[in-house]
Every structure is written in C-alpha cells, then in structure tokens.
Amino acid sequence: MATTVVSAPFSARVNRIEISATIAMTAEAAKLRAKGADLADLGMGEPHFNTPRHIKDAGIAAIEQNFTKYTAVGGIPELRKAIVKRHAQDFGSDYKPEEAVASTGGKQALFNAIQVLVDHGDEVIIPVPYWVSFKDIVEYAGGKCVYVEADEAQDFRLTADMIQRAITPRTRAIILNTPCNPSGAVMHPDDLRDVITMASRRGIYVISDECYVYLNYTGDVQSAASIAEAREHLVIIGSLSKTYAMTGWRSGYALGPAPVVAALNKLQSQSTSNPCSIVQKAAIAALEGPQDCIAEFRTDYIRLRDFVLERLAQIPGVHCARPEGAFYVYPNVSAYFGRGGVRSSADVADRLLHEAHVVTVPGEGFGTSEHIRLSYATSREVLGKALDRIQQFFAAL
Ligand code: GLU
C-alpha cells in the first residue's frame, strides 16, 4: 500500500531550529507575571541600569530633526567611523569604516556573519557552554556544530589546545565568546592569541562574539582584533546593549575584512536594510560621548557577582564556577537530581519559576545538563529576594 508523505509545513531550515531558550523563559515568565505573580527575575540577561541621558537625548534629537528616513544599509558613515574609532582607541585595532557594518543588535551581526561564512556540511567549533543562539544559527545555515567542552573544574576557562583538538579539514569557523555567556569565563590572552593565529594560518574564520568585552573583570580587557596579524580571517561581533545599557535599542555591529563586510551588507540589504536611523544617532552619542558608565556598571557587577557567589556557597550541594566577566553565574545543581521529582536542570528551572517564582534559564539551552543560569544584572534587592527563594526551594527538595 502506498504511504502518504505529508510534507512539513515549514522549510527544513526553520524546522532545524528551536526558539531561543532565553526568550522562551522570558515568555513563560511574562505569562505568570500577567496573572499577578511577583517574580524575582534572573532570566534574560540585560543591564538593570537606564540608558545614559546623553544617549537618550541624541535619540530624541534625531526624531525632532526628522532623521527618520532610510539610511545606507550598513549604517551612516558617521556611525561606522565612530565604531572603528572607539574600537581603535579601546583595543588598538585599525579597521577602516568600510570594514564595519552596523546592525540591528549584535545578534543580527552574528546571524548574518554565520549565514555569510557557513555552508552546508561546514563544521563550526562551538565551546560549551555556549550562548543559546550559536547552535541554532549554525544549524539554520546548514552547518555542523562541533562542540568543545570547557572544563568546569577550571571555571570553564577555554584553552587553545581544546580548540586545536577539534579542528578537521572541514572546519570553517570557530565561535569565541569571551567573557562567556553563560559561564562568565574569560580566555587567557595567550590562548586567545594562539587560537586566532592558528586559525588564521589554516584559513579558518574566527567569529568573536564580544558583547561582554567591556565586562571583563580581570583587568586585561582585550578584543580578538587586538591581535593584528590575524585580521584576514577574523570577524568581530560587537554590541552596545550591555556596554551602554541599550538592549532594547538594538544596536550592534560587525568588523571584518572588506569582502566579508560587503557580503554582510548584501545579506542585510535583502532582509532588514539599515538599522533604525534614530538608534544610529544614539549609537554615535554612545560611542563618542563620555565613557564613565562602563566602569561604573562594571564596578557594580563585580559587587553583585561577589554577593551572588557568597549566597550560592551557602546552599549545600550547589557549586559554582567563578565568573571573571559578563553578568551571569552558572551553578551546577545536579546534586539535587533525583530529589523531590527533579530529574534535570530543565526541571529545576521550571519548578523555580512556577513554585518559587524565580526566573532562571536551564543549562540545556547552553549545551550542558547540570546547570542553571542566573543573571545578576539586577538590583541587590531583587537578587537577595531571588536567592532567599532559591535557597528555600532547594532546602525543601
Ligand atoms: N544576553 C541575553 C541573554 O543571554 C540575550 C537574550 C537573547 O537575545 O537571547 O539572556
């Protein structure tokens, strides 16, 4: 008997991906909040600070001056100039404005870079734990993710050797993210240099997601682009979201060799076109204006990190790698598996949300099965409340 083949209603490439774990958790939390739940939210990672005044004013002025029309796809020349100038000043890079493309958030720059560089069957090395979207964006492009496990006992710090062992003739790209979301691990500058030079020698691209580059607590703030000799195979993904507390504005960029940037522009011209014109003016003010907010935010995050680590240490069985940047902690909660019906970190996050009213993100979305992610980019008060609830939750299991 002939079997009826029912074709999937959507494209194979969209069927390959799942909704972002961070966004799924935020949506779930929003449902509870709408029903009146008082949630302590450590879910979505975003600064609790407001966008600095001078940046907001530049956005308002752009509207008042009717700077509300289409612009060049990759951003107005003044913005691209401001991006490369700020990067040169802070990291010693020497990109030209035509090697920069402004995008609708760092996520769009990352998405486009992967679509531009990765073809069907290409291998992309992704260190684990990884930010939730790396895997799905690579799979959307038809690429094959090759995972490299960072060692939890070494606070998830990635070394060049770990990456080197995963390279094959099919390796097309390596995604680095230092400081790392979710672990907060920072690569040692020597390891970063070794990965980039080794990849460059082999013609492998390094896509360096530097959304947290300024939230590095080691005092050794470094961009992959500080390593001058490897520029030809390097794409930097930058974001203003965390640096200037601008998550909702959606402002990011990519820096890379001119041919890569031309391809990014081509792809962007067929999707979103230019990033919002108003946001572009605000971004210029952010990049060219006073930079004091960066150090202020960082000081606050270090205090919050210390507080959260101290509180987590008081929960029996929970152990946590020490983050050296970003604003997340990634505690291992596997000691509680098998207790009170909990079997996985997804169960822990789900029950924390529904029973303790604390929003976290389960480790499964970041490629590990024993952890949950907490964002400590929030007030000390919310953090304290969340940790009280988490402690009670585990005590009752
Ligand atoms: N930095 C945010 C997080 O990881 C981004 C959320 C997202 O775009 O998925 O929570």
Domain residue ranges of the chain, discontinuous segments joined by +: 17-50+293-396, 53-288
Output the pLDDT for position 201. 94
Residue type for position 238: G
22 lines ligand 1 (CB under 6 A): yes
Output the pLDDT for position 3. 47
> Span 17-50+293-396: which CATH code?
3.90.1150.10
24 lines ligand 1 (CB under 6 A): no
104 lines ligand 1 (CB under 6 A): no
Q: Which atom of ligand 1 is nearest to the CA of 211?
A: 1
345 lines ligand 1 (CB under 6 A): no
Cα 197 from chain centroid (whole Å): 23
**For 48-103, what is each residue's pLDDT tens digit?**
999 999 999 999 999 999 999 999 999 999 999 999 999 999 999 999 999 999 99
SS3 state of residue 159:
coil
Instruction: Select 53-288's CATH number: 3.40.640.10, 3.40.630.30, 3.40.250.10, 3.40.605.10.
Output: 3.40.640.10
Rounded to the nearest angstrom, the distance between the alpha carbon of 21 and the centre of ligand 1 is 9
Cβ-based neighbours of 153, under 8 Å, separated by 6 or more: none
Which whole-number Å values give the CA distances from 333 to 166, 313, 377, in the listed order?
28, 12, 21
User: Looking at the predicted structure, is the pLDDT value of residue 4 above 70?
Assistant: no
| Contact call for residues 118 and 124 (beta carbons, < 8 A) | yes
* Mutate-to-test residue for ligand 1 from 26, 46, 373, highest number of ligand atoms within 8 A of CB: 46
Nearest CA to ligand 1 atom 3: 45
Beta strands (DSSP E) in the chain are 40-41, 100-103, 123-128, 144-149, 171-176, 205-209, 234-239, 252-255, 328-329, 358-359, 361-362, 372-375
242 lines ligand 1 (CB under 6 A): no
**For 148-182, what is each residue's pLDDT tens digit?**
999 999 999 999 999 999 999 999 999 999 999 99
Q: Which atom of ligand 1 is nearest to the CA of 242?
A: 1
Rounded to the nearest angstrom, the distance between the alpha carbon of 153 and the centre of ligand 1 is 25
The mean pLDDT of 310-338, rounded to a whole number, is 98
Nearest CA to ligand 1 atom 7: 22
Which whole-number Å values give the CA distances from 285 to 37, 210, 391, in the listed order?
38, 20, 43
23 lines ligand 1 (CB under 6 A): yes
**For 34-54, what is each residue's pLDDT tens digit?**
999 999 999 999 999 999 999
